Homo-oligomer: A and B are copies of this chain.
Amino acid sequence: MLYFLDIFGTLIFAISGAFKASRRELDILGALVLATATGVGGGIIRDMVLGATPPAAFHDESYLFVCLAGGVTVIFIAPRIARRWNMVMAADALGLGVFSAIGAAKAAAYGLGPMGTIMMAALTAVGGGVIRDVLVCEVPAVIRTDFYATAAILGGATFVALHACGVGQSWLLFATTITATGLRLLAMRFHLRLPKVRRLDESAIPNERD
């Protein structure tokens, strides 16, 4: 069950990632690269950080095939998908929840503490999108006007709290997914955003650190 949700989340992430290619005049390899980076990038970085190498995405190549499928889909029928964008975004929220649950569980299995576990939940969920944005030279949305990474972070915090209470693995994964996905859907529905940092005048910091 979790495996199918994970594959489904990878597909949706790949599709939403490949869309950037149609906004930035990339070529078809660009679309496939962004699809793959967004689909499996977060999990690959997480596994590299944890030392779980080669990363899971290379053990079971279904993930890579699903990324290519997502990219090819966008190359051929992008306009048709765009017309159902709200459905893509709802599915994306589910992917976000599943990815944070898997990230948190893997981090805990590798002995990370509460902070590390929460960070790995967020990294799994948003890492792929951050790589995609860096590749097309955009400041990642998650650090500009976010309620995306925040949902993953609160999902990870739920995992840590319930884990400390001795809740079993399936319930942990379920509760983390529900929390992160639910918060993301609420944020989309009510246009929630984190507050901005107060802007500082250029002259306030005479010589910024290199």
Query: Could you tell me which A residues sit within 8 Å of B by CB distance?
Result: 16, 19, 21-31, 33-34, 36, 44, 48-51, 53-55, 58, 61, 64-65, 74-75, 78-79, 82-83, 85, 88-89, 92, 110-116, 119, 129-130, 134-150, 153, 188, 193-200, 202, 204-210
A210 contacts B119, C-beta separation under 8 Å: no
A27 surroundings in chain B (CB, below 8 A)? 143-146, 193-197
A85 surroundings in chain B (CB, below 8 A)? 205-207
B54 contacts A115, C-beta separation under 8 Å: no
A139 contacts B136, C-beta separation under 8 Å: yes
A129 to B: closest C-beta gap in Å? 7
Contact residues of A: prevailing secondary structure: helix
B150 contacts A29, C-beta separation under 8 Å: yes
A148 to B: closest C-beta gap in Å? 4
Given A27-B145, A28-B197, A135-B140, 17 more pairs with CB closer than 8 A: A16-B209, A23-B205, A27-B194, A30-B146, A51-B53, A54-B111, A58-B113, A61-B113, A61-B114, A61-B116, A78-B197, A78-B204, A82-B200, A134-B135, A137-B137, A137-B138, A141-B210
A142 contacts B29, C-beta separation under 8 Å: yes
Give CA–CA (A61, B61) in the complex, Å: 34
Known: A54-B116, A200-B79. A144 touches B25 (CB 8 A): yes
A146 to B: closest C-beta gap in Å? 5
Most buried by B among A27, A145, A208: A27
B135 contacts A139, C-beta separation under 8 Å: yes
B146 contacts A112, C-beta separation under 8 Å: no
